[in-house]
């Protein structure tokens, strides 16, 4: 029985690790000049994650942005540690940590793939499968991840928060979350290939105590969403865009974007 439970746990972990949200998680979000923090790379559901396995996945790009300065941190990652990245903040201001993964492959049976399309609001792909009489067929997918983390050092705020880092899919806040409080609204722009992405499902998570609260929103024609900041604590915004694959090894390609920050 213990072996069966263990096997089920492993299979569940594999499925979670190959799908759903991915984000960068610090010990805290606000710092004094000279402080250090360690960053976890997490994958999971409901803003509840487990460590991303860097023995099976690869970081393509990892950069720390502060105004016009960009630091390449890819070589600083410690594969053997749970908190795989250490950052020291030497200047006041708002920082963006951005990470792009390599492409990974997953194959799903028809039911799991159709459920996944429903959960992520990928109606266009469901429609394509229906029109091509392939809704009952399994799928082969290449997926990649694009995560951004906003951090604040000292009291000085700047425009780094809205910097576009050039990801395939990117979430750009239009106000600095570190200037906001509960009861305010935050507007974000969703970009795909550098262009505004309209009518896109975006999931907005907030952790309150031990619970995660979810808001769903769809982007307007200009690719923006606007939502209420309903509480303090960590927040994550996530979205996924899928297209027909341009590579013969897969039917589809998906691009997962996330943005994390804290409201005080």
Q: 248: which residues sit within 8 A by CB, 6+ positions away?
A: none
Separation between Cα atoms, residue 173 and residue 153, nearest integer Å: 18
pLDDT in the model for residue 82: 72
Q: Which range has the worst mean pLDDT, 18-22, 133-137, 216-220?
A: 18-22
pLDDT in the model for residue 7: 35
Separation between Cα atoms, residue 88 and residue 86, nearest integer Å: 7
Is 5's pLDDT higher than 70?
Answer: no
Please state the rounded mean pLDDT for residues 256-262: 98
38-44 contacts: CB < 8 A, separation 24 or more? Answer: 38/83, 38/85, 38/86, 38/87, 39/83, 39/84, 39/85, 39/86, 39/87, 39/97, 39/149, 40/82, 40/83, 40/84, 41/84, 41/85, 41/99, 41/147, 43/16, 43/17, 44/16, 44/20
**Domain membership of residue 13 as a residue range:** 2-263
Separation between Cα atoms, residue 204 and residue 181, nearest integer Å: 16
Q: Express each pLDDT in 101-115 by its tens digit.
A: 999 999 999 999 999
The CA-based angle 114-17-208, given to 5 degrees, is 95
If pLDDT is split at 50, 70 and 90, which confidence band does 10 have? very low
Q: Which range has the worst mean pLDDT, 57-61, 152-156, 220-224, 238-242?
A: 57-61
Q: Express each pLDDT in 186-232 by its tens digit.
A: 999 999 999 999 999 999 999 988 889 999 999 999 999 999 999 99
Tell the residue number behind the tokens 């951090």, with chain if given. Answer: 151
If pLDDT is split at 50, 70 and 90, which confidence band does 9 have? very low
Please state the rounded mean pLDDT for residues 236-247: 97
Q: Express each pLDDT in 69-85 by its tens digit.
A: 999 999 999 877 777 89
pLDDT in the model for residue 16: 40
| pTM as predicted | 0.90
Which residues in 46-196 belong to E strands, given as ranges?
48-51, 59-66, 69-72, 85-88, 93-101, 104-108, 139-153, 169-173, 185-192, 195-196
Tell the residue number behind the tokens 């990928």, with chain if given. Answer: 122
Q: What is the DSSP string of 120-133?
A: TT-HHHHHHHHHTT
Q: Could you tell me the CA-to-CA distances from 255 to 144, 182, 186, 191, 223 in Å, in that order?
A: 5, 30, 23, 11, 16
Is 17's pLDDT higher than 70?
Answer: no
Is 15's pLDDT higher than 90?
Answer: no
Is 144's pLDDT higher than 80?
Answer: yes
Average pLDDT, the chain: 91
pLDDT in the model for residue 134: 96
Q: Could you tell me the CA-to-CA distances from 102 to 60, 65, 105, 120 in Å, in that order?
A: 6, 20, 10, 21
Is 3's pLDDT higher than 80?
Answer: no
Q: 153: which residues sit within 8 A by CB, 6+ positions away?
A: 30, 31, 32, 33, 35, 89, 91, 92, 93, 94, 95
Q: Beta partners for 153? A: 31, 93
Separation between Cα atoms, residue 31 and residue 140, nearest integer Å: 43
Number of domains in the chain: 1
Please state the rounded mean pLDDT for residues 76-95: 88
Please state the rounded mean pLDDT for residues 131-160: 97
Q: Express each pLDDT in 153-185 by its tens digit.
A: 999 999 999 999 999 999 999 999 999 999 999
Q: 76: which residues sit within 8 A by CB, 6+ positions away?
A: 62, 85, 86
């Amino acid at each position: 029985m213990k072996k069966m439970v263990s096997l089920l746990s492993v299979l569940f972990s594999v499925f979670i690790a190959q799908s759903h949200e991915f984000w960068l998680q610090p010990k805290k979000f606000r710092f004094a000049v000279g402080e250090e923090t360690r960053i976890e790379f997490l994958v999971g559901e409901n803003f509840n994650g487990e460590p991303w396995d860097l023995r099976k996945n690869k970081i393509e790009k990892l950069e720390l942005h502060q105004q016009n300065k960009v630091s390449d941190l890819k070589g600083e990652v410690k594969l053997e540690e749970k908190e795989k990245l250490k950052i020291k903040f030497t200047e006041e201001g708002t920082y963006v940590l951005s990470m792009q993964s390599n492409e990974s492959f997953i194959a799903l049976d028809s039911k799991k793939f159709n459920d996944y399309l429903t959960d992520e609001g990928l109606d266009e792909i469901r429609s394509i499968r229906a029109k091509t009489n392939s809704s009952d067929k399994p799928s082969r997918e290449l997926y990649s991840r694009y995560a951004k983390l906003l951090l604040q050092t000292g009291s000085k705020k700047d425009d780094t928060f809205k910097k576009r880092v050039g990801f395939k899919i990117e979430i750009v806040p239009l106000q600095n979350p570190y200037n906001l409080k509960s009861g305010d609204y935050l507007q974000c722009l969703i970009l795909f290939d550098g262009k505004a992405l309209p009518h896109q499902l975006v999931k907005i998570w907030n952790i309150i105590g031990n619970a995660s609260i979810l808001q769903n929103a769809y982007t307007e024609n200009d690719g923006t969403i606007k939502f209420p900041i309903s509480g303090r604590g960590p927040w994550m915004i996530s979205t996924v865009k899928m297209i027909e694959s341009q590579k013969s090894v897969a039917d589809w390609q998906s691009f997962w974007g996330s943005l994390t920050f804290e409201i005080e």
